[in-house]
Chain A
């Protein structure tokens, strides 16, 4: 008999550091024991699951044609590609056998939150996504350097408009507030001066490329956070990321999204991030004793819920119904990849737990269960089906409330699966 705290810790490991277990995986990891299971979940290795991934081309769409009919077809294609990109990423999350890197990339997408609603084109968003994946477990200094030179991010925060003779503060402010330091660790003067440091970068949006125009760049010294020099985007990023507040801020952001939005992280966590080593930081967080304590629950976001359900049911998002329907249902729940509501990223916890969301979730779950594989339930006798559902989905323990509901459906595995996917203990990673 496995200890309840092992089941809890493993449930958190597979859902928060992975993207939910594939069929049979939770019990296998439980048998391996926590140390080995954790090492597997936090490992990066060649991923045979991704052999099945099909990546559509996201070509440079070039200028929109002026002819009205051709223009309409052009924008329809642009829009279809934006949906295809989101579904491609969810395919990747679902197919991966080692989803830790996708989970981290997903976190960083919410951190450097850039929205295709303004960027419009899939190509620059795909390039940013590749950049985030490259650095997802690397060094934050390198990641930040890459992002301040990223086409989609620059365009999203009006970097194009930011020129030395007339600075636009959007990128300078959000860079310090949301990406590197946190509110309160800089002044309005720093924002203005940082804008000058970031000036002079322009983008070719459809190509997804960035160029630097020295004539539009502030080439006299500016003063940011007490340091006065001629900055460019890279030197400015390096300087801001080197501040001690950066270590504290990024450590808190990861803790907030992986462990708890209400409980404070240990004060020592920022020290772990001294050298901006993301892998070391997330590995430390995954080993925190909070992982075994009941009060650290977190709500799955709509995409996290959908991806974990697809993994359990072996459903590939791009082969599941109409792309537009999937976009609409997830967007109605408040979340579709590449389309965060603002530069502040996605909501969390209580915000997702609304009566409104249930309608859309039930619709998705109904269709998922119809298209998915239910062997983990159909292969066991009715008397064992409720426990089998917990093991299949990686739920630490059903409450007696949920057990009572599920027990009413043991004669109908599809119904039981539908209820389990909508159970409070599945919506929230307890």
Chain B
């Protein structure tokens, strides 16, 4: 059952803000000036959508080496039936629930970067996710890779937007942060309360860094809301999966010309040490359906060629199943990149299931090659300064937009 049976209408009723979403918010003069200065994103500006899969997605049951005897023998109770997977080549197939990805693959719009991780993979969820989100496998640092991309520009709450209420590590820069918007959209207080709240957003020399962040979040709310409220009038259907709901909001922002270049969405629940097969099938099916529907939605807009989606998880899982019909933490796994401008196909190669490194899959591609491609060929920024001089990349993106 769903943990939350509320819809937007009930939310508005409960908060006493009914009507606020359709009523023009009364903003302070500063905010009006700020909103007016927000220019719509020109068509042709590339947009990156980052999808984080939390918990460590089992790569081998996502992109499946379906005929490999070692796959079948290592996973007696939890290998996928070769008759029910979706073959991409004579050795690899998609999980049978991922029909949407199969159609993207056929249209040459899906790149699968095989065996992706980093040197000496860390088997801790938190350390490994921190490495992916900071983009720093060598040195432990506190800023996220998109945060450092934001640092290169003047503070702008629109440049990167995540759909959630708490900030993911990848969005925290050294002096800039991405903004977070809930799937329900934003409501700002209006009238005199709006004016008074607006005063609370002013910077003060007395503020510590965190107090300044708190004031900044209020300021971001007003700036974001002035643009997003008219666009996010319709909440996504509550029957859709959590990822589909988030991507529905992103699609509305993109087609609504919001000046955002990076979006972050996520799907949780991949930490399946036990009874994994049925749970993971549902999740990767949701992933495939949500991204395919999203690309279809933006595909009918003038921005069809602008959008690139990247999907990663903190690690894959062990080749050999454990006793509970699940798998323990592993290493490399496929990264997906999808969109009209993506040069579809396989990158890297499938790591051997018999020639393991300390019992786990070898690392074939360093994820920083994927990040550098996203930074340079999607966001048009030099990757070296963001990825500690990392410069090699993959030809994932065709040059013409």
A contact residues vs B (CB 8 Å cutoff)? 75-76, 79, 117, 157-158, 160-163, 165-170, 173, 177-178, 183, 188, 191, 262, 294-295, 297-299, 321, 324-325, 328-329, 331-334, 341-344, 347, 349-360, 362-363, 366-367, 397, 399-402, 404-405, 408-409, 415, 418-419, 422-425, 427-428, 430
Contacts and interface: CB of A to CB of B under 8 A. Distances in A.
Given A166-B322, A169-B329, A341 B268 contact: yes
Contacts of B216: 353
A356 B214 contact: no
B210 A331 contact: no
A324 B167 CA distance: 25
Nearest to A177: B124
Contacts of A79: 1, 3
A161 B323 contact: yes
Interface stretch (B173-181, B255-263, B391-399): B173-181
B203 A401 contact: yes
A353 to B, nearest CB: 5
B199 A408 contact: yes
B182 A358 contact: no
Of B5, B14, B165, B204, most buried by chain A (CB within 10 Å of CB) is: B165
A327 B207 CA distance: 32
B17 A363 contact: yes
Interface string B200-236: 1011101111111111111011001100000000000
28 contacts: A117-B3, A157-B273, A158-B274, A160-B274, A168-B326, A188-B123, A188-B359, A294-B208, A299-B210, A321-B14, A324-B5, A328-B6, A350-B172, A351-B166, A352-B166, A352-B167, A355-B217, A355-B224, A359-B184, A363-B14, A399-B204, A399-B211, A400-B206, A401-B203, A408-B195, A409-B196, A415-B196, A423-B200
B388 to A, nearest CB: 21
Contacts of A183: 122, 124, 126-127
A117 B17 CA distance: 30
Contacts of B167: 347, 350-354
Contact of B197 (A178, A262, A353, A419): A419
Contact of A342 (B125, B127, B202): B125
A422 B217 CA distance: 11
B194 to A, nearest CB: 11
B67 interface: no
Contacts of A188: 123, 358-359
A362 B189 contact: yes
B182 A359 contact: yes
A308 to B, nearest CB: 15
B266 to A, nearest CB: 11
B157 interface: yes
A193 to B, nearest CB: 14
A297 B196 contact: no
A401 B323 contact: no
Given A183-B124, A355-B217, A424-B214, A168 B166 contact: no
A168 B186 contact: no
A158 B324 CA distance: 8
Contact of A169 (B142, B199, B322): B322
Given A325-B14, A352-B166, A299 B273 contact: no
A173 B315 CA distance: 15
Interface residues on B, range: 35 or more
A399 B206 contact: yes
Nearest to A79: B1
B15 interface: yes
B208 A430 contact: yes
B323 A167 contact: yes
A167 B326 CA distance: 11
B172 A297 contact: no
A183 B273 CA distance: 20
Nearest to B12: A363
A298 B213 CA distance: 11
B125 A422 contact: no
A280 to B, nearest CB: 28
Nearest to B318: A169
Contacts of A347: 166-167
Contact of B324 (A161, A354, A423): A161
B382 interface: no
A401 B199 contact: yes
Contacts of B181: 355-356
Interface in B114-141: 122-127
A407 B203 CA distance: 17
B296 to A, nearest CB: 27
Given A166-B322, A170-B273, A430 B221 contact: no
Given A161-B326, A402-B200, A415 B193 contact: yes
B126 A178 contact: yes
Contacts of B29: none
A353 B157 contact: no
Given A158-B273, A357-B180, 14 more contacts: A75-B1, A163-B323, A166-B324, A170-B273, A177-B127, A299-B214, A332-B182, A359-B221, A362-B189, A363-B15, A400-B204, A424-B212, A428-B213, A430-B211
B211 A424 contact: yes
B165 A356 contact: yes
A161 B3 contact: no
Given A161-B324, A355-B224, A297 B166 contact: no
B346 interface: no
Contacts of B102: none
Of B193, B195, B268, most buried by chain A (CB within 10 Å of CB) is: B193
A354 B199 contact: no
A399 B200 CA distance: 10
B270 to A, nearest CB: 11
A162 to B, nearest CB: 8
A176 B32 CA distance: 53
Contacts of A354: 165-167, 179-180, 217, 220
B166 A358 contact: no
